[in-house]
Structure 1
Amino acid sequence: APSCPVCMEPWTSEGEHRISCIPCGHVYGRSCLERWLTQRGNASATCPQCGRRFKHKDIINIYAPEVAVPNNDLEKQLRFCRQKLESLEEVVLKQGKLLDEIISEKNHRSADVGVSKRQKIAEHSDGRTYLEPSASASAASASGNSCRFVLLKELSFDGARVMGIDASNQIILASGKAPGVGGEHVLRKISMLSSHEAHTIQLPPDTKVVKDICILPGGSALFASLGRRLSLFSMTTNSVVLECNLPLPAWSCSAHDSDSHRIYAGLQRMAGFWYLILVSIQDPCIPWLGYLNIWSIHYTLSLITVVPERFFQLLP
């Protein structure tokens, strides 16, 4: 609370030590001013701060319930909050424009699919081929401008191989290699909302080349590497939180559509087969292994189901 600059005691709104001021404008407790005059012979005294003389009749009581001191820090905080609000409004505006462009492009593609279906129906009905212009082509010819892509930013990575995009958090996760001869393989995390350089993340020793990255819900990612590892990476802590040792080098990885605790890895070809391994996050030490002569794990997962007897069975 504000206090008297003479005795350093808090002011009061009434009584002997009530808030008072003298003609120069400085504020004191009344009892301190009267004591100051008494020490000077009750004639006149000088202000302790500016030295201007005053008499007993010049003491003026201030009828105020509270005296506040201006806080410049609050004004600075207010200006900072206003600037931050303006920057957030700009970000929201840009994201709104981007969303409108995505919706427009999606509508054009849907119209193109409809045109293709009508064309096929016409071919089967009369045996003639009718080429109807697509909606996007019609719009481009009407406006005279085709869709153009503009390079906004370019980052140079050593040994870049694969990447994954977390669309919900606007994050790109890319594999690469540390600069220099014999550099370890690393991950680089890039925020699409920031103009800063990529954040380099060191991987555990002997991870080797990362061959595939799969973004999972909840701010995590899965990556497979030639170091015979299937790793679960947290984009919140920027660290590997779970590792599963594999019998062969891993070339691809994926996650189960309905069971978030199941993850898959496609292993290196051996004896004419591409191996597919299932790992439960709840018990990563007991993998389920099966084999199929199919290249892509992402295509394989749409053809097979995993059964408890630890083998894979083709769907009818």
Structure 2
Amino acid sequence: MISLLVLLATTLAAAPASMPGVHGHITSYVRNSPAEFKTSPRRTAAKVESDEDSDCCSICFEAWTNSGNHRLASLKCGHLFGQSCIEKWLKGQGGKCPQCNAKAKKGDIRVIFAKTVKMVDTTDRDRAVRELEREKQLRRKVELEAAQTRLQYELALQECNMIRTQLDRERQRKAQALTSVSGPSPSQPSCSQASSSQQARLYKFDSSIPLKGESRLLGYDAQHGTLVVSQASPNQLFPGFGVKKISAMDLRSMQYVSVHSKAIRDICFSGRVDGLMLTASIDKTLKITSLMSNTVVQTYHTPFPVWACCWNQEDNNYVYAGLQNGSVLVFDQRDTTKHVEELSPPRTRCPIVAISYVPRDPSSSLRCGGLLLGTLRGGCFWEKTSTEYRPHPLPMEGSCTSLKFEHTTRHCLASFRPDKNHNSTRHLLCELESRLVGEDGRNQCSCHVMHTFYGGSTQKLLTRSALFTSPGDPGQILVCAGDEASTSAQLWSASTAAWLQKIPTDGPVLDVCPFSINSKHQLSVLTDKLLRIYSWT
């Protein structure tokens, strides 16, 4: 058919103008011929452009399939064809893509397993995602500013409460001074009446819990309302040392949890809801135990027996171990292989009997944070900076047996045995302070004694004392310490240095621990074989 058309066109071109019949005949034939032979260039371009956007092969203009010879296939350039069509095209057209003339060969054909091929316009979605990220950044910025404002408010509130407490103390001292000079007025109660009113708001005996095994320490998990007592294993078949759990709700004895192979020297809690307990033992290990599952979850080995331990209250990932040689090891719970830092003692290598973490507080007299250590030769404060720990020896003389830190007032209570310079037990209430020295802005940390409370003339055991907020007055602080000479626990007011109460016991007091549950304030006093519970009335 094509040859015939060419012949006719040649004849028409060679025919003279006087042969109109020939021209009309040829024109009529072309006009009446099939559509594929009379398509104009403009319609052809529109057809190709339309076919490129359709779901069909651009060679045969037939829809491709997902199986068979005419299944969907592509070249390296990305254009789509039917498999049989592109194979024939590459075989006879010199190895080029029908659409972009890119070099191609039969080995470049890749079969595509797809039912349909569509391109999704994600412009609006991408724009929405960018706007969402921008809004998130603005929200985080607003939340950060709100948190900083809230922190400033809390610091200002703490400073206001501290000033109010100091003002109340000055008023009380002024009133006492006026009373001592002029005598009690008729409207004021007499000394006997004041004494009886104080006795009405002190601790009274509630119950006692007998203990099996050698008891030594007390601890309280406020998150779960559980008292723990360190003691030897009650089962002779499984020797060792662990803790006895006691419910603070009904004072009922619960499980015994085995932890160490030798005696436990210190217990402290993380304060989190997971109920993690940190224990130090003379078996040269520091262990973290979950009281929810009653199992040891982490063990750290040390070169010397561990006498004291504590958590980093600003970052619970870090724990501290005070060793018998006077050094402190810093452990990271994320690195279980070894300690991350060692703090060597600045003085003699004396055992650390107590260790407390002091958080930073820019509004207090001690602005910096760090570790407060009590040793058998005195006390020391390790200031924690962003890069290192700096030691600051404290002016504490004597053999320290207990050291407690109170966070609201940032005061510490240090207990000392009798020695050649002091013939009785001493409990020093100290206020920690720091001041900037030098051009590099370093802190010089120290402490000064606010009150001294005296006990008996003997103390053979490492009795632990307590410094806590008064249940009757949140603005007052109480001091409680065991006294071996009188076989009792003594209670003082840290604000007025007044003796308040003598709590009799059945033996030397080893540890005292105040706790509160359901708005009920209680005091636990531990001896070797008995745990006594006293309630604030």
Please, what TM-score do these two structures have when normalized by structure 1? 0.52
Report if the CA contact (8 A) 2:371-2:384 is conserved: no
How far did 1:199 drift?
1.3
Query: Secondary structure of the equivalent of 1:259?
Result: coil
1:284 alignment counterpart: 336
Q: Give the aligned residue type for 1:277.
A: L
Q: Distance in 1 between matches of 2:265 and 2:182?
A: 45
SS of corresponding position for 1:119 = helix
Q: Is the 8 A contact 2:309 2:355 kept in 1?
A: yes
- Tell me the residue number matched to 2:308: 252
Aligned partner of 1:301 in structure 2 is 371
Asked whether 1:214 is paired with 2:282, we answer no
Match of 2:256 in 1: 200
| Alpha-carbon distance, 1:173 to partner | 1.4
Alignment match, 1:155: 210
Q: How far apart, in 2, do the equivalents of 1:214 and 1:150 lie?
A: 26
* 1:206-245 pair list within 5 angstroms: 207-218=261-272, 219-245=275-301
In structure 2, how many angstroms separate the alpha carbons of the residues matched to 1:112 and 1:283? Answer: 45
| Structure 1 letter corresponding to 2:306 | A
In structure 2, distance between residues paired with 1:305 and 1:234: 30
Which position in structure 2 is the counterpart of 1:22?
Answer: none
**Structure 1 residues 215 and 137, CA, compared in 2 at 3 Å: closer, same or farther?**
farther
Equivalent residue, structure 2, for 1:262: 318
C-alpha distance in 2, partners of 1:284/1:189? 27
Q: Which runs of 5+ in 2 are unaligned?
A: 1-163, 358-369, 373-380, 393-442, 445-537
Q: 1:208 to 1:258 in 2, by over 3 A?
A: same
AA of the residue aligned to 2:328: L
CA deviation string 1:94-130 (max 9, x = no partner): xxxxxxxxxxxxxxxx98993466427987xx9x879
Alignment of 1:20-169 (within 5 A): 114-115=168-169, 118-119=172-173, 141=196, 145=200, 147-169=202-224
Q: Partners in 2 of 1:266 and 1:131 — Cα distance?
A: 52
How far apart, in 2, do the equivalents of 1:241 and 1:291 lie?
28
Does the C-alpha gap of structure 1 residues 308 and 140 become closer, same or farther in structure 2, counting only changes over 3 Å? Answer: closer
Higher normalized strand content (fraction of residues): 2
| Structure 2: distance between partners of 1:138 and 1:113 | 25
| Amino acid of the structure 2 residue aligned with 1:178 | S
2:243/2:258 contact within 8 Å kept: yes
Structure 2 distance, partners of 1:131, 1:231, is 59
Residue 143 of structure 1 deviates from its aligned partner by: 8.9
Report if aligned partners of 1:291, 1:312 keep a CA contact under 8 Å in 2: no
Is contact 2:308–2:354 with CA below 8 Å preserved after alignment? yes
Distance in 2 (alpha carbons) for counterparts of 1:145 and 1:264: 41
Q: SS of the counterpart of 1:141?
A: helix
Shift of 1:176: 0.5
CA deviations over 1:165-204 (Å, ceiling 9, x no partner): 1123210112101237693212211111245433111225
CA–CA distance in structure 1, aligned partners of residues 258 and 242 of structure 2 = 5
2: distance between equivalents of 1:158 and 1:280? Answer: 33
Residues 1:183 and 2:253 are matched in the alignment: no
How far apart are the structure 2 equivalents of 1:309 and 1:298? 20
Q: 1:161 to 1:111 in 2, by over 3 A?
A: same
**Matches of 1:230 and 1:308 in 2, distance apart?**
25
Deviations 1:2-30, CA, capped at 9 Å, x for gaps? xxxxxxxxxxxxxxxxxxxxxxxxxxxxx
State the SS of the aligned residue for 1:227: coil
- Shift, 1:216, TM fit: 1.1
Query: What secondary structure is seen at the aligned counterpart in 1 of 2:289?
Result: strand
Q: Classify 1:174/1:276 alpha carbon distance in 2 versus 1 (closer, same or farther; 3 Å).
A: same
User: Cα distance, 1:283 vs. partner?
Assistant: 1.0
Q: Which residue identity does 2:356 align to in structure 1?
A: H
CA gap of 1:140–1:118, structure 2 versus 1, over 3 A, is: closer
RMSD: 4.0
2:371 partner amino acid: L
Aligned to 1:31: none
Distance across 2 between alignment mates of 1:151 and 1:112:
34
Structure ID, larger Rg: 2
**2:383–2:391 Cα contact (<8 Å) kept:** yes
SS in 1 for 2:243: strand
Considering Cα pairs closer than 8 Å and 6+ residues apart, tell me whether 1 or 2 has the greater RCO: 2
CA 1:168 to 1:139, structure 2 compared with 1: closer, same or farther past 3 Å? Answer: farther
Counterpart CA distance in 1 for 2:226 and 2:343 is: 33
**In the alignment, what sits opposite 2:475?**
none
Distance in 2 (alpha carbons) for counterparts of 1:144 and 1:254:
35
Task: Indicate conservation of the 8 Å contact 2:309/2:354, yes or no.
Answer: no
Per the TM alignment, residue 310 of structure 1 is displaced from its structure 2 partner at its CA by: 7.0
Shift of residue 157, structure 1, vs aligned partner = 3.0
Cα displacement (A) at 1:139: 5.9
SS at match of 2:205: coil
